[in-house]
Structure 1
Amino acid sequence: MQRPDAAPIVLGYEWMVGATTVATLTAAKAFARIDSIRIGALVDDEEQGGPAVAEDFERLATVMPSVLARSDDAYVWRSRDAAGCEFRAIDGTAITASGFSSIDIAGLAAVTGGRDITFAIGTGISSSRRAGGAKSTEILIELTGIDAANAPFRSRHAVFHPGGAAPLTAIGVSMLIERLTGLDGNPATKPGLYFPYQVLDHAAYLARLEQDGGKLMTLPLA
């Protein structure tokens, strides 16, 4: 704030550093109006987070007993019990989840105008491991609103990466560094304060995701 023209700074605290917002905003293009967004992140219980991650989550649970959400066009704080929910994994398995104060909520509300937006995290067996494979990470996205014909419309999607949370996070971090510094062949990003989805090229991000074995999927409605 003292020197806003010094450098570009990205708030990378979005879930998986842009994976959630880039995928959600891509799926939202099919809508003329977004009314609600429900995001559920499934972390495989074999995913080995480092000590800093464990400490950070413990700190958040202690100092932030309430959970941020968007409800009826207003930001609200819900108790952790009230913020709990259930979502379905890629393979349809029901996952019990806890509400999470993700900065994705603020960015998605600003771009889509969605009146109701929630974010929850569930820990368990990922769909790939349940099918006999290796662990993976999943981000489930449910959108409701109005389509171009002014009819009620709903869609369901998932971001999937076969390597788990770490490599998916690394894609966002590496692409942001490329974009900020101009290593992607384009002019370096101008000084300012950004969310990842404002800096990343969405099509390029999804292409890199597929090159790395992941994908943005469209799922049947539950």
Structure 2
Amino acid sequence: MTLDPILLIGGAGIVGRQTAEFLRSTHPDAPLLIGGRNVEKAREAAASIGNAEGVKIDLAAADLGLGKRPVSAVAIYFTDTTTAALRFAQRQRVPYISISPALHEVGPEVAAYMHQPTAAPVVLGTEWLVGATTIPTLEFVRSFKRVDTIRLGAVLGEQDATGPAGFDDLERQTQTIPAVQARRDGIWIWRQGDDLKAELQTLDGTTLSAMALSPHDVVALATETSASNVEFNLAIRQDAGHSHGEPMSAEILIELHGIDVDDQPLHTRHAVVHPDGQMPLTGLGVALLIERLLGLDGKPATPAGLYFPYQLLEPEGYLARFKQSGGKIVALEPS
């Protein structure tokens, strides 16, 4: 199939490069536009990727500074406070993916979608590591007749690489928000004050202080499973590796409580880990979404709509690519 270039805004950053590399490995002929404010950096990234072009992006311009140049999809790796990238995608009637706006920040994107619901598929991609939490969780849920509680935790190494935009997003979402949304006893509440504090027991048994966070996984999984209690906490490990030397700097901890098919109490705990930190999983999620949205996976392209990543990514295929990338899932003793 003839494909217009896929526009990766912020594609010269760490996650953008990961996306480009995943796409290049599976679709070597897919043309890419590596967009950014620094055109020289974008061009350097494009040259290293191959079959790609670096372009300057101007979010103050309706055409993003691209003129009448067509694109096949738009992915953006930082919070676009102008919604210019989404409106550009809608005008071109091509898929749009964002991975940074937090729950309390998605109003402009949702409003833009509601204004033109038939223009293009829009993916609210701020699930933790873009599917690496929701998809495994929903697979574990299959062992339950009823899930009552979902406790999600993420552990990042202090040295886990990210770019300036990623640091800005994480700082904004963890240090400048006075309250974080969670579900308790079937009621949506706001965690505030001391309730923002938590602890996480990591894969190697270490207990870390954590802070409340509310990526889209919280509302998505609560809605999908009808669990009465859903929360998410984030911890930063000072040493990027584990105490026993393994270099896993990113972990996702998934703890479920409920009843099994025999109406007996069931409690499970798993860790989703990757030896290279958070960036490969984030880049993989975006790459797989682009494949699904455009029909590069051999299935019909995704119709216009408003989606979470887990609604588009087929679990078996996702988990196979997850393992190929070096990720693994570990069953843990319940804490």
1:137 paired residue among 232, 250, 258: 250
Shift, 1:208, TM fit: 0.6
Whether 1:160 aligns to 2:285 is: no
- Matches of 2:176 and 2:284 in 1, distance apart? 30
Letter in 2 for 1:34: V
**Structural mapping, 1:108-147, within 5 Å:** 108-125=221-238, 128-147=241-260
TM norm structure 1? 0.95
Q: Does residue 75 of structure 1 match 2:180? A: no
* Residue type at the aligned position of 1:116: N
Q: Which runs of 5+ in 1 are unaligned?
A: none
RMSD over equivalenced CA pairs, Å: 1.5
- Find 2:134's aligned residue among 11, 14, 21: 21
Higher relative contact order (CA 8 A, sep 6+): 1
1:214 equivalent to 2:332? Answer no
Unaligned runs of 5+ in 2: 1-113
Match of 1:35 in 2: 148
For 2:174 and 2:202, locate their aligned partners in 1 and report how far apart those are by CA, in whole Å: 24
Give percent identity, aligned residues only. Answer: 46
User: What whole-Å deviation, never above 9, does each CA across 1:28-59 have from its counterpart, x for those lacking one?
Assistant: 10000000010110001111221112222333
Deviation at 1:131, TM superposition (A): 2.1
How far apart in 2 are the matches of 1:5 and 1:71?
35
Q: Does structure 1 retain, via aligned residues, the 8 Å contact 2:240–2:247?
A: no
Q: After TM superposition, what 4+ stretches of structure 1 lie above 4 angstroms from structure 2? A: 125-128
Secondary structure of the 2:166 match is helix
Alpha-carbon distance in 2 for matches of 1:127, 1:25: 28
- Once the two structures are TM-superposed, the CA of residue 182 in structure 1 deviates from its matched residue by 0.4
- Which residue of structure 1 lines up, in the alignment, with residue 116 of structure 2? 3
Residue aligning to 2:33: none
Q: Does 1:53 align with 2:166?
A: yes
Give the distance between the partners of 2:144 and 2:240, measured in 1 at CA.
Answer: 28
Kept in 1: contact 2:248–2:273 (CA 8 A): no
3-state SS in 2 of match to 1:172: helix
Which digits, 9 at most, give the CA deviation of each residue in 1:134-171, with x for residues without a partner?
34310000000010000111000111111100001011
Offset from partner CA, 1:179-217 (integer Å, 9 cap, x none): 000001111111100000000001111111111111222
Q: Offset of 1:7 from its aligned partner?
A: 1.0
2:131 corresponds to 1:12: no
- SS across alignment from 1:19: coil
Cα distance between partner residues in 2 of 1:128 and 1:210: 20
- 2:115 aligned counterpart, secondary structure: coil
Return the TM-score normalized by structure 2. 0.64
Alpha-carbon distance change, 61 to 208 in structure 1, aligned in 2, over 3 angstroms: closer
Q: Aligned to 1:139, what secondary structure does the other structure show?
A: strand
